[in-house]
Amino acid sequence: MDYREGTAPHPATPSEQVRKSPQPSPDGRGDIAPTPARHYHPPMASTEIEALVQQLARLPGLGPRSARRAVLHLMKKRESAFVPLLAALQTVSERLVTCTICGNVDTHDPCAICADPRRDARSLCVVEEVSDLWALDKSRLFPGKYHVLGGRLSALEGIRPQDLAIDALVARVAAGGIDEVVLAMNATLEGQTTAHYLAERLEGYPVRLTQLAHGLPVGGELDYLDEGTLAQALRARRPVG
């Protein structure tokens, strides 16, 4: 064992000794920074680029590391990626609207789903959030239209029926032309409470009420399910009650 271990009178590590060894240049600055580099982190990019990284890092699913990678990619592919992305962000941010029929967000009102004549207007799928609508519609298994509640009933959070688009849903059903209402709530306690409440509110209307099969994981949120599970749950939907 090295007898100096842990009690070395000189704090310099071998690497620091190497770093200090070059002769200083005539201006006295030396070729290599005389201060230990490990305590000083020079900025890698300008504050503008750093601000861009920070904005991206705040997005869901991204962190500082992926944000930095994304920014590096955008800078490298300025014409083919950065410019088109900027144009898309600008367009969507300027035109973003909530569909007055279903509550989806889109760049048109009515949204692309409500305005699509090929969709089956006799089937209506009720979801909690826009993210659930998107997740379900990505499976391409539901040919009908949607209704977004804007949340779920929650005694804990004080979310009451009048806080959700429930009256609007009842009005759509009351207007007629709908045969089936799929209650596609999340498989959480609050989601199921909401489904029961909706079933009560829609009682007496000539519609078939169904809900997603409970192959859904308990506590599972639609947005996080893989498409296969979601497709299966939709296919095996069953009557409410």
Site residues for Zn ion per CB under 5 A: 99, 101-102, 104, 110-111, 114
If the CB atoms of residues 38 and 140 are measured against Zn ion, the closer one turns out to be 140
If the CB atoms of residues 114 and 198 are measured against Zn ion, the closer one turns out to be 114
3-state SS of the chain?
A: CCCCCCCCCCCCCHHHHHHHCCCCCCCCCCCCCCCCHHHCCCCCCCHHHHHHHHHHHCCCCCCHHHHHHHHHHHHHCHHHHHHHHHHHHHHHHHHCEECCCCCCEECCCCCCCCCCCCCEEEEEEEECCHHHHHHHHHCCCCCEEEEECCCCCECCCCECHHHCCHHHHHHHHHCCCCCEEEECCCCCHHHHHHHHHHHHHCCCCCCEEEECCCCCCCCCCHHHCCHHHHHHHHHCCEECC
If the CB atoms of residues 110 and 215 are measured against Zn ion, the closer one turns out to be 110
Q: How far is the CB of 111 from Zn ion (least distance, A)?
A: 3
- Considering only CA atoms, which of 143, 102, 104, 100 is closest in space to residue 120? 143
Q: How far is the CB of 159 from Zn ion (least distance, A)?
A: 22
If the CB atoms of residues 77 and 122 are measured against Zn ion, the closer one turns out to be 122
Q: How far is the CB of 101 from Zn ion (least distance, A)?
A: 5
If the CB atoms of residues 99 and 225 are measured against Zn ion, the closer one turns out to be 99
Q: How far is the CB of 208 from Zn ion (least distance, A)?
A: 22
**C-beta of residue 173 within 8 angstroms of C-beta of residue 122:** no
Q: How far is the CB of 99 from Zn ion (least distance, A)?
A: 3
Q: How far is the CB of 80 from Zn ion (least distance, A)?
A: 33
| CA distance to 7, 10, 16, 51, per residue, from 13 (Å) | 13, 8, 5, 37
If the CB atoms of residues 102 and 195 are measured against Zn ion, the closer one turns out to be 102
Q: How far is the CB of 110 from Zn ion (least distance, A)?
A: 5
If the CB atoms of residues 98 and 229 are measured against Zn ion, the closer one turns out to be 98
As given in the structure block, the two tokens for residue 83 are 């410019």
